[in-house]
Amino acid sequence: MKSSVITFPGSNCDRDMDVALKKFGFKNKMVWHADAELPKSDLVVLPGGFSYGDYLRCGSMASKSKIMHSVINFANSGGMVMGICNGFQILVETGLVPGVLLRNKYLEFICKNVFVKINDKKNKYFKNVNNDVLEFHIAHNEGNYFCTNDQLKEIEDNNQIAINYCDENGKIEDQFNPNGSIKNIAGIFNKEKNVLGMMPHPERMIDASLSGEDGSLFFKNLINNLK
């Protein structure tokens, strides 16, 4: 399976993602934002970081960069595109997934482990993941998911919520919402579910001695689903 990780000026989780993808069998290529063409890919990842210094709005400038024309075309023709953290912010700015990510409710940069509950498994990202709850890491200042009431209705009608913040038992409540996101939303799909944006970092959970292995579960499963 071939993957591509896009590096924008200010990306800083691109190499972590490269390590994670390779560890679980992807042949990964790093792609510079100013390139026009995507290499042949089964998966494209927009990594975390602070693209363009988060100027104007997080992800806004990166969403207009040259490579994004190819990424958007790839996504619109059914290609798998995953945006993590800043990558999620870039995805919402392209309009590939609905909504926006606002400043965290209590104005704090949040850096900690969280639990997320998988809301939908009828997609290539989470199909066959045995666990319903995963422990991932978040590190963001703007992860407060917001959308209009009309968008929320559409998102719920199409079952586009991917994961919600919860406790270790999968209970989705306000007290387990780290950043003020509507409905504890931590990740969301496009309608067709080939595009996934999420704030948590699975690539930071791939080593039992350093972190945890729920990211390993995610990537092992993902590559199998793509085969």
Partner 1 sequence: MKISVIITLKKDVLDPQGKVIHQTLDGMGFNDVNEVRQGKYFEIDTKETDNDKAKAKVEEMCKKLLANLVIENYKIIDPK
> Applying CB under 8 A, which residues contact partner 1?
56-57, 60, 64, 93, 99-100, 102-107, 144, 146-148, 151, 180
Number of CB atoms found within 10 A of residue 2's CB? 15
Give the burial string for 78-116 (b: 16+ CB within 10 Å, else e). Answer: ebbbbbbbbbbbbbbbbebbbbbbbebeeeeebeeebbb
Catalytic site residue 203?
yes
Give the active site residue among 33, 137, 140, 201. Answer: 201
The enclosing H or E element of 195 equals strand 195-198
Rounded CA-CA distance 32/27 in Å is: 17
Rounded CA-CA distance 176/87 in Å is: 23
Judged by beta carbon, residue 97 or residue 217, the one nearer partner 1 is 97
The enclosing H or E element of 14 equals helix 14-23
Catalytic site residue 213?
no
At closest approach, how far in Å is the CB of 151 from partner 1? 8
Number of CB atoms found within 10 A of residue 10's CB? 16
Judged by beta carbon, residue 28 or residue 104, the one nearer partner 1 is 104
At closest approach, how far in Å is the CB of 200 from partner 1? 21
Catalytic site residue 140?
no
Give the active site residue among 58, 85, 147, 166. Answer: 85
Side-chain-facing half-sphere of 187: CA atoms under 13 Å = 30
Judged by beta carbon, residue 105 or residue 191, the one nearer partner 1 is 105
Judged by beta carbon, residue 10 or residue 180, the one nearer partner 1 is 180
Task: Tell me which residue of 207, 223, 224 sits closest to 215, measured CA to CA.
Answer: 207
At closest approach, how far in Å is the CB of 170 from partner 1? 27
At closest approach, how far in Å is the CB of 103 from partner 1? 6
Q: Which residues are catalytic?
A: 85, 201, 203
